[in-house]
Amino acid sequence: MPFTPLPNKLQLSTATNKAVVLFLGAMALCLFSCKKEFSYEGGPIISGNNLLIRKVTYNALGDSSVTTYTYDSLKRVIEVISNSGIGSADMSSFTTRLYRDVLGRVDSVYREVQGSVFTNSYVRYYYNLENQLTYSIEIRNPLNAQQTLIDSAAYTYTGDALTAKTDYFSDTSRQYDSIPDQQFLYTYDAGKNIQHIAFINYFEENGIKTSITTNIFYTYDNYTNPLPQDGYGYAFFVNLSFINYLHRNNILSVQSSEADYIDETHRYEYNSAHLPVKEILTNQGTNFTTYYYYK
């Protein structure tokens, strides 16, 4: 579906860049509810709400980041709190709150940041009658009007499948145009799993418009994915935002590369119930290990 201009005729976009894309990949599988509780580090199996409540990531130096999840009475994510001491002398804290419409769809997200160069942000999502996300608007640093930036994203479908996400950014002078700043192009395998994402970053260099493409490839096992769909979780997993996508099989690896250079690789381990329990991220020779805890 083509993008419908906003009432003020500004074409805006969701602010993401290559670093954010790779960061989103690192957050894979972090927001799903599951069938039983499993702790990769040997914790007991406990009956309960069958929800992911915590994930912990370690680097080679032993530094860690912890993410915790809060749910509503319908077992839907309503708050995510991340505290990170990895790669920084100061502890950074990210609090994300989700708000849903009467149909249960996430219609807005507020993100508050402390101790980081990142800014606060507010995102609003808009859907069509087919329940497909058509565009989103992001206001960055809304607590400081002098520095507020407004971006947007448009979403294109072929049938039920999302085939493109196009971002438009604003600059500090609040200048907007209809030329995209970046795109995500999606292709699928025969099982309707996302197989490849081409992330295209457009920019000017010495007055010449050019682009750089980062390719992200997914591999899967042959087991049926036992995870129920949670729109917010899949937003971070494949950068689709809040669309109705559920991969049919379990993801074994995600690899991103630019030209012939491999930026980073994510590999996932599952237990006997085919639930994710461990992720190993390799980024330019540095490893990060993430464990998942369920309740």
Q: Give the pLDDT score at 87.
A: 58
Q: For residue 233, give the DSSP letter.
A: H
Q: What is residue 172's three-state secondary structure?
A: coil
Q: Which residues pair with 153 in a beta bridge?
A: 136, 167
Instruction: Provide the phi-psi class of 9: left if phi over 0, else alpha when psi is between -120 and 50, else beta.
Output: left
Q: What is residue 52's three-state secondary structure?
A: strand
Q: What is residue 58's three-state secondary structure?
A: strand
Contacts of 55 (CB under 8 A, 6+ apart): 30, 66, 67, 290, 291, 292, 293
Of 68, 199, 184, 80, nearest in space to 136 by CA: 184
CA–CA separation, 192 and 175 (whole Å): 39
Question: What percent of the chain stands above pLDDT 70?
Answer: 67
Q: Which residues pair with 55 in a beta bridge?
A: 67, 292
Cβ(251)–Cβ(28) under 8 Å? yes
| 208-236: pLDDT as tens digits | 889 999 999 999 998 887 765 554 554 44
Cβ(15)–Cβ(246) under 8 Å? no
Q: For residue 39, give the DSSP letter.
A: B
Q: Is the dihedral of CA 229, 233, 239, 241 positive or negative?
A: positive
How many beta carbons lie within 10 A of that of residue 233, not counting itself?
21
Q: Give the pLDDT score at 13.
A: 36
Domain ranges of the chain: 18-294
Q: For residue 145, give the DSSP letter.
A: G
Cβ(293)–Cβ(44) under 8 Å? no
Q: Note the Cα 135 to chain centre separation in Å.
A: 16
Q: Give the pLDDT score at 202.
A: 92
Cβ(201)–Cβ(18) under 8 Å? yes
CA–CA separation, 294 and 277 (whole Å): 9
pLDDT tens for the chain, 295 residues: list them: 333 333 333 333 333 344 444 333 433 333 333 333 333 333 333 334 457 788 899 988 888 899 998 888 888 888 989 887 665 555 678 899 989 999 888 889 998 887 665 678 899 999 999 888 888 999 887 555 566 778 889 999 999 888 999 999 876 555 556 678 999 999 999 988 899 999 999 988 888 889 999 999 999 998 887 765 554 554 445 555 555 567 788 889 989 888 766 788 999 998 887 778 899 999 888 899 999 887 7
CA–CA separation, 232 and 98 (whole Å): 9
| 40-66: pLDDT as tens digits | 333 333 334 457 788 899 988 888 899
E strand segments, 102-181: 106-114, 121-127, 133-140, 149-158, 161-168
Q: Give the pLDDT score at 164.
A: 92
Q: Which CATH number fits domain 18-294: 3.40.50.300, 3.40.640.10, 1.20.210.10, 2.40.160.150?
A: 2.40.160.150
Q: Give the pLDDT score at 60.
A: 84
For residue 60, count CB atoms less than 10 angstroms from its CB and return exposed for 0-12, middle for 13-18, buried for 19 or more.
Answer: exposed
- How many helices (H) and strands (E) the chain has is answered by 2, 16
CA–CA separation, 55 and 60 (whole Å): 17
Instruction: Provide the phi-psi class of 141: left if phi over 0, else alpha when psi is between -120 and 50, else beta.
Output: left
